[in-house]
Amino acid sequence: MTLELGSRIGDLLTDNLREIPDFPEPGVLFRDITPLLANGPAFAELIDRLADHYRGSIDAVAGLESRGFILAAPLAKALGIGMLTIRKAGKLPGPVIGVNYDLEYGSARMELRPDSVRNGDRVLILDDVLATGGTAAASAHLIRQAGGEVAGIAVLLELEGLGGRERLAGENVESALLV
């Protein structure tokens, strides 16, 4: 399902997205959102539209390392709510809770300071891209472990065919653009 933000958000992304073939390795087509971030009016409109969509339905927004931070901070400010940081292992001062998850070739770990989540908080998990869904699934687990409620998972771009949405079955997943 795509975010119900109208066609303008898709236009913002399409107009400000750069595709880089063979990055970070041969055969991969990387979608780069930095042109959107560099376009002040387009970035402001994106945040305004996200704020309008989520206003009143969330108590905190969790940004996923690292581009999710860039999106979550201004959204949290626009909504007057807190921002949580979910980081890769070893990057947050303790105490932290963590969860390991599998990648295509190996494993990774995401961590959260549990005291950053208030019991019962409705938390939106926000990131730039949904691919396999491992990072988002691990993040949802951490939010619940800390006592929060996952209000939804929102991404700018969803890469179809990589199984991310299927891995997040049962979660409210919204993407602004399917690619």
Q: Which residue has the tokens 């626009």?
A: 78
Q: How far apart are the first and last CA of the chain?
A: 13
Confidence (pTM) = 0.94
Mean pLDDT for all residues in the chain: 93
* Averaged pLDDT for residues 146-152: 98
Instruction: Dihedral sign for Cα 3, 65, 92, 51, please.
Output: negative
| Interval 18-51: pLDDT, tens | 999 999 999 989 999 999 999 999 999 999 999 9
Q: What is the mean pLDDT of residues 106-121?
A: 96
pLDDT at residue 19, as a whole number: 95
CA–CA gap between residue 109 and residue 137 (Å, rounded): 11
pLDDT on residue 72:
98
How many Å apart are CA 174 and CA 153, to the nearest integer?
6
Buried-exposed string 14-51: b where 16+ CB fall within 10 A, e elsewhere: eebbeeeeeeeeeeeeebebeebbeeeebbebbbebbb
Q: Is the pLDDT of residue 114 over 70?
A: yes
Confidence of residue 3 (pLDDT cuts 50, 70, 90): low
Nearest partner of 146 among 168, 121, 170, judged by Cα: 121
Q: How confident is the model at residue 103 (pLDDT cuts 50, 70, 90)?
A: confident
So which residues are the catalytic ones? 67, 104
What confidence score (pLDDT) does residue 6 get?
Answer: 54
Instruction: Render 70-111 in DSSP notation, one character per residue.
Output: HHHHHHHHHHT-EEEEEEETT-SPSS-EEEEEEETTEEEEEE
pLDDT at 11: 85
